[in-house]
Amino acid sequence: MSAQAIDSPTTHRAGAFGNATGLVCRECGSQSPLGPFYACPECFGPLEVGYDFPAVTREQIESGPKNIWRYQPLLPVPADIVSSPNTEPGMTRLLRAANLGRELGIERLWVKDDSGNPTHSFKDRVVAIALSAARELGMKVFACPSTGNLANAVAAAGARAGMRTVVFIPHDLERPKVLTTAVYGGALIAVKGNYDDVNRLASEIAGEEEDWAFANVNVRPYYAEGSKTLAFEIAEQLGWRIPDQIVIPVASGSQLTKVDKGLQELIKLGLVEGKPYRIFGAQAAGCSPVSAAYKEGLDVVRPVRPDTIAKSLAIGNPADGPYVLDVARRTGGAVEDVTDEEIRDGIQLLARTEGVFAETAGGVTIATLAKLISSGQLDPTQETVVLNTGDGLKTLDAVADRVGPTATIEPHFSEFLKTGLV
Ligand SMILES: Cc1ncc(COP(=O)(O)O)c(C=O)c1O
Ligand SMILES: [Zn+2]
């Protein structure tokens, strides 16, 4: 969207964006009105949502719906959001991971398991906010470029809201992610290129089609706010307390930066006690532009060409990469990366110890957690939360060569005895 578009803001009903007051440039701080805008008209920096928060109490939140809408006052959505059809994501399990912790030598470990969302990834959170913005701005088409999980979430949310959807994916995406998008019946365009090519194409279309809302492009400031709900839920589920350390996967980097923003808002509003916390980013070695910049001490992120089994994290030119570096450095965290074999190990480790089957992105965070502990970057005596952001059923190929039946036998007791299990 051009700077020109910002000069003529779209109209919307009062309260369409809740307590949000405008869009603020993350680089120069200049203000833009609430609308389908994502780049600052002054400096082209990314815009994010600014608020004028009222007093919000724990009791008020606790008496709300059992999904992300309990945090409505802290999100850019109207007070009546619950009455418009959406997928109602959130309030996923926060599991005390004692077995995994024992194995990794860390005492107080939790897994925030976002595979429990309606389309089985954290993307349902961000999409619910983007859908609300699209609706309030009078957009006609709900669209996105996606590495897979966003595709699922947009297609499902659009179906439920009765809004036309057009989803763009790289042509070589995992087959389950293609099918679990196509089943919702919207348009699905497979683009012969990688995610960064798909994203460029989507930005071009967004510039041309004024009534198309691309969840992660022209309504990105709203979309991104959805990831704050991970921070809100973790704090609430810990009894209104912030953990010492959080490990988060990084693709575009949006999720990691917004978990930090969410924690800051909770402190500012007095919903939790202020305390230091450290945020760690996790990438696949085959697509680790942010981790590379972190290790080299750089402020800029050099784009790479991804080559990893963690396709959901395969963004070679991450929009929020520099802000991930800021958060990791400011909070005393780090950004680390792990190989495809370590990712497979991570998936199996979490499954074997906690009964949680993560997709490759979850394998990345678990393997990164292990690496951060063994390298001494993460303190094993501190309370730690690791995110599992997606479901292993969508990336079965990652473990297909590693697991299978223990034995295949004829249906006779004597055959069973030969397995050596008793
Ligand atoms: C399962 C999963 N986890 C994490 C991410 C990373 O999200 P972000 O682009 O906000 O860094 C993605 C992005 O597609 C994803 O699909
Ligand atoms: Zn600016």
Residue 20 vs residues 40, 61, 265, 393: alpha-carbon distances, Å = 17, 18, 13, 37
Residue range 298-333, pLDDT digits in tens = 999 999 999 999 999 999 999 999 999 999 999 999
- Rg of the chain over Cα atoms, rounded to whole angstroms, equals 21
Please state the rounded mean pLDDT for residues 357-369. Answer: 98
What is the pairing mode between strands 212-214 and 141-145? parallel
174 CA to centre of own chain: 18
According to DSSP, the residues that pair with 50 across neighbouring strands are: 22
The CB of 119 under 6 Å from ligand 1? The reply is no
CA of 265 to the centre of ligand 1 (A): 22
CB 132 within 8 A of CB 81: yes
Phi-psi region of 331 (alpha: psi -120 to 50; beta: other; left: phi over 0): alpha
**Which ligand approaches the C-alpha of residue 259 most closely?**
1
Both tokens assigned to 408: 């295949």
The CA distance from 228 to 258, in Å, is 5
What is the best residue among 255, 283, 327 to mutate for testing ligand 1's pocket, by most ligand atoms within 8 Å of CB?
Answer: 255
| pLDDT over 80 (residue 144) | yes
The CA distance from 154 to 43, in Å, is 30
CA of 251 to the centre of ligand 1 (A): 5
CB atoms within 10 A of CB 364: 35
Please report how the helices 228-237 and 254-268 are oriented relative to each other, as an axis angle in degrees rounded to 10: 50
CA of 126 to the centre of ligand 1 (A): 10
Q: How confident is the model at residue 8 (pLDDT cuts 50, 70, 90)?
A: very low
Residue range 38-71, pLDDT digits in tens = 999 999 999 999 999 999 999 999 999 999 999 9
Ligand 1 atom with the smallest distance to the CA of 114 is 1
What is the best residue among 146, 149, 347 to mutate for testing ligand 1's pocket, by most ligand atoms within 8 Å of CB?
Answer: 149
Both tokens assigned to 107: 């005492």
CA of 294 to the centre of ligand 2 (A): 24
The CB of 245 under 6 Å from ligand 1? The reply is no
Please report how the helices 360-374 and 340-354 are oriented relative to each other, as an axis angle in degrees rounded to 10: 90
Please state the rounded mean pLDDT for residues 222-247. Answer: 98
For residue 300, which amino acid is it? V
What is the best residue among 223, 313, 356 to mutate for testing ligand 1's pocket, by most ligand atoms within 8 Å of CB?
Answer: 313
The CB of 312 under 6 Å from ligand 1? The reply is yes
End-to-end CA distance of the chain: 67
Per-residue pLDDT at 255: 98
Both tokens assigned to 3: 């700077």
According to DSSP, the residues that pair with 95 across neighbouring strands are: 111
Residue range 244-302, pLDDT digits in tens = 999 999 999 999 999 999 999 999 999 999 999 999 999 999 999 999 999 999 999 99
CB 285 within 8 A of CB 352: no
**Total-model pTM:** 0.96
Per-residue pLDDT at 4: 38
3-state secondary structure the chain: CCHHHHHCCCCCCCCCCCCEEEEEECCCCCEECCCCCCECCCCCCEEEEEECCCCCCHHHHHCCCCCHHHHHHHCCCCCCHHHCCCCCCCCCEEEECHHHHHHHCCCCEEEEEHHHCCCCECHHHHHHHHHHHHHHCCCCEEEEECCCHHHHHHHHHHHHHCCEEEEEEECCCCHHHHHHHHCCCCEEEEECCCHHHHHHHHHHHHHHCCCEEECCCCCHHHHHHCCHHHHHHHHHHCCCCCCCEEEEECCCCHHHHHHHHHHHHHHHCCCCCCCCCEEEEEEECCECHHHHHHHHCCCCCCCCCCCCCCHHHCCCCCCCHHHHHHHHHHHCCCEEEECHHHHHHHHHHHHHHHCCCECHHHHHHHHHHHHHHHCCCCCCCCCEEEEECEEHHHHCHHHHCCCCCCCCCCCCHHHHHCCCCC
**Which ligand approaches the C-alpha of residue 32 most closely?**
2
CB atoms within 10 A of CB 64: 16
Q: How confident is the model at residue 5 (pLDDT cuts 50, 70, 90)?
A: very low
Both tokens assigned to 94: 């926060």
| pLDDT over 80 (residue 32) | yes
For residue 79, which amino acid is it? A
Nearest residue to 234 via CA among 359, 307, 358, 125: 125
**Which ligand approaches the C-alpha of residue 220 most closely?**
1
Give me the chain's average pLDDT, please.
96
